[in-house]
Structure 1
Amino acid sequence: MRIFPLFLCLLFSISYSSHDIAAEELEIVVGWDKPPYVISADHSGFEMDLVRAIFADIGHEISPIYVPFGRTARLLKYDNVDVALTINSSHKVDAALLTDAYIIYQNVAVSRADRALTVNSFEDLADKSVIAFQTASAVLGEEFGGALSSLPTYMEMARQDRQVNMLMLGSVDVIVLDRNIFNFLKGSNERYANDDTVFHELFPITPYRAAIPDKTLREAFNRTLRTFIDDGRYQALLDKYGLENLFGKLQLPVVHP
């Protein structure tokens, strides 16, 4: 008569343990290489290190799934993944699934300081050779795309390290890309790491969020993110990769426990 209750207890124990193990590892969809934010070769970069540390504090390991940037939202919708990273207002994701902003980008137009170029508007770029990141004319707004996309002196390039090389070696007047990506790539090349450049701030900051369907996990992410910001661990990771902290340009929401 004792065998059946013992069997139930054993079955419950196995089920509970399996649930715990499954809950420890989260499938995280993230866009392919974007040094210094995402470095897929060794699962590092500021964004990966931050998200891994946040989920470790909550009690989870992560399993990254690298995809082209435009596919993150689609995989969240159809593939039942746990988390999609680097989501902004342009993605068709239910706002209720989004975390607080955990990372901020700011695209800028960059020129060499010794060229002394005046760039205060998109129109000022019309007579200059410009290379932007791939899909820039589509994602940077109609005003930017309308001013430049049809010009023969404008082109888009997937390899952002080549963008930086062409600017710093004098092959192009201006490049358009994220300021932290530029600083990282420029600083990584000793040929021109110390050459002066100018950031022309034609674009606003862009906060990015994670999409997390599970409400409990989403709320835990928000609380832990705010703790990281408050206790200095967020800044320490920025310093590790030599990134500028742009949170000062964003009004953070108050997170209640």
Structure 2
Amino acid sequence: MGVKKLLSLLLFSLSLPAQALQPVEQTTLLIGVGADKPPFVFSNEETISGLEVDIFREAMAGSGYQLEFVALPFHQLNRALLLFPDLDVAAGVGTEFFDTLHYVDKFSYYENVAVSRASSGIQLESIRDLQQYSVVSWQGASQPATPLGPVFHHLYGAADRQPHRGYQELSQYSQNAMFWLGRTDVIVVDRAIFSWYRRLLADSKDTSVDVSIHPLFPERQYTKVAFRDPELAAIFAAGLKQLKSSGRYQQLYQHYLD
């Protein structure tokens, strides 16, 4: 390189603003996910992992963002971006939406069912039939935006009704343990979560008995991802679309659910 050209490059670099000469820092996104719902989310004091975390990570791969996840109670997730100003994203939200946010649909899906022991002979034809039995579900299951639908909310969560004495909302672990201990007639739960806990609890409880599955709720309920920034939403939507078209999305589901 000639001396004149070298000097011109040096003078050009000296004329740049100081920040232009600094290495570009990666931006960290803070993402809220629902706690206590393996295999979709595993959370403890040290790590957060699971199916929904993997889907989000792979959809954002190559975007240049660092991702940090925080686990939130289900009943806070839909409003997480309103409750926690530091959050950038809420992944796995349900049916409650806000005009100030930007949503990407069909992030993950659940298949909520009612489950009873086959030996009990329980017959359930509608959600209202649940009132005849003791029922346990997850925390926040009866809130207004519940994926279980307005009838379930009216029966178990409406503010103008007395709490149903045979109904409880517990952590996913506690509700599944309670069912296998025979302390409730019916558990309302996602199929995959029920199967996962059935295997987990097999060492300490008899989970081998036959069960009856009652499909009282919509066959498949999809979740969304809420963003503050529309550009981030577009980046994620493109990545999620690619995951699905390549078959990788279903591979992730099979990895966790099989």
Gaps of 5+ in 2: 1-6
Q: How does 1:87-236 map to 2 (within 5 A)?
A: 87-90=93-96, 92-94=97-99, 97-138=102-143, 139=146, 140-147=148-155, 150=162, 153-190=165-202, 191-204=205-218, 205-236=220-251
Post-superposition offset of 1:47: 0.7
Q: Secondary structure at the match of 2:235?
A: helix
Contact residue 128 and residue 153 of structure 1 kept, 8 A: no
The equivalent position to 2:20 in structure 1, one of 13, 20, 23, is 13
Q: Does 1:31 align with 2:34?
A: yes
Q: Does 1:63 align with 2:82?
A: no
Question: Equivalent residue for 1:241?
Answer: 256
Post-superposition offset of 1:97: 0.4
Q: Secondary structure at the match of 2:251?
A: helix
Deviations 1:164-195 (A, max 9, x none): 22222322211112222111111222244443
Q: Secondary structure at the match of 1:126?
A: helix
The structure having more radius of gyration, on CA atoms, is: 2
Deviations 1:67-120 (A, max 9, x none): 333334544246153221122222x42286001211112321111123232111
Cα distance, 1:70–1:144 mapped onto 2, change above 3 Å: closer
Post-superposition offset of 1:48: 0.9
Q: Does 1:79 align with 2:85?
A: yes
- Structure 1 stretches of 4+ with a deviation exceeding 6 A read 1-4
Amino acid at match of 1:200: H
Q: Secondary structure at the match of 1:180?
A: helix
Amino acid at match of 1:197: V
Q: Secondary structure at the match of 1:188?
A: helix
Cα distance, 1:39–1:8 mapped onto 2, change above 3 Å: farther
Deviations 1:202-221 (A, max 9, x none): 11132111112333322221
Amino acid at match of 2:34: G
Contact residue 78 and residue 94 of structure 2 kept, 8 A: no
TM (norm. structure 1) is 0.79
CA distance in 2, matches of 1:68, 1:137: 14
Contact residue 38 and residue 45 of structure 1 kept, 8 A: yes
CA distance in 1, matches of 2:78, 2:139: 18
* % identical aligned pairs: 31
TM (norm. structure 2) is 0.79
CA distance in 1, matches of 2:180, 2:72: 30
Amino acid at match of 2:215: E
Cα distance, 1:135–1:183 mapped onto 2, change above 3 Å: same
CA distance in 1, matches of 2:193, 2:50: 11
Question: Equivalent residue for 2:26?
Answer: 22
Cα distance, 1:152–1:96 mapped onto 2, change above 3 Å: closer
Amino acid at match of 1:125: L
Gaps of 5+ in 1: 244-257
CA distance in 1, matches of 2:74, 2:13: 51
Number of positions where the alignment pairs a residue of Structure 1 with one of Structure 2 = 238
More helix by share: 1
